[in-house]
Homo-oligomer: A and B are copies of this chain.
Amino acid sequence: MAEATTIEPTRDQLDALRWDDRGLITAIAQDADTGEVLMLAWMNAESLEMTLAEGRMVYWSRSRQELWRKGDTSGDRQFVREAYFDCDADALLFKVEQEGAGACHTGERSCFHRAFGR
């Protein structure tokens, strides 16, 4: 049973982040158990704050221009186990526990299910 874990970032960590000109940052979700990369989406400052506070992945939907609490509609919630930022602080990596069938709206476990050259 997945449970939410709150992560408390330091002020220095939050201040270090580099948001793009739309106020967004890329976020990778990786299966904490298998290492499978599940999806790449975007966060704004509010969705990152919610993600760390609630321990559940909350993205910013660029197409709908709204907060996207992953799994609220589909049931396929993602619980955060660990959260990282990269060396130039413009990309995020979350190790998550994926609920349900998977991360992808197609029903596949990973959004990266199509391979070049096959």
Q: Give the interface of A toward B (CB within 8 A).
A: 7-10, 13, 26, 28, 30, 34-37, 39-40, 52, 82-88, 91, 93, 104-106, 108, 111-117
Contacts and interface: CB of A to CB of B under 8 A. Distances in A.
13 contacts: A7-B116, A8-B116, A9-B117, A13-B114, A28-B28, A37-B37, A39-B86, A52-B116, A82-B115, A84-B112, A85-B116, A86-B114, A87-B106
Question: How many copies, total?
Answer: 2
B91 A40 contact: yes
A30 B106 CA distance: 23
Nearest to A5: B117
Nearest to A39: B86
Nearest to A52: B116
Nearest to A14: B116
A40 B86 contact: yes
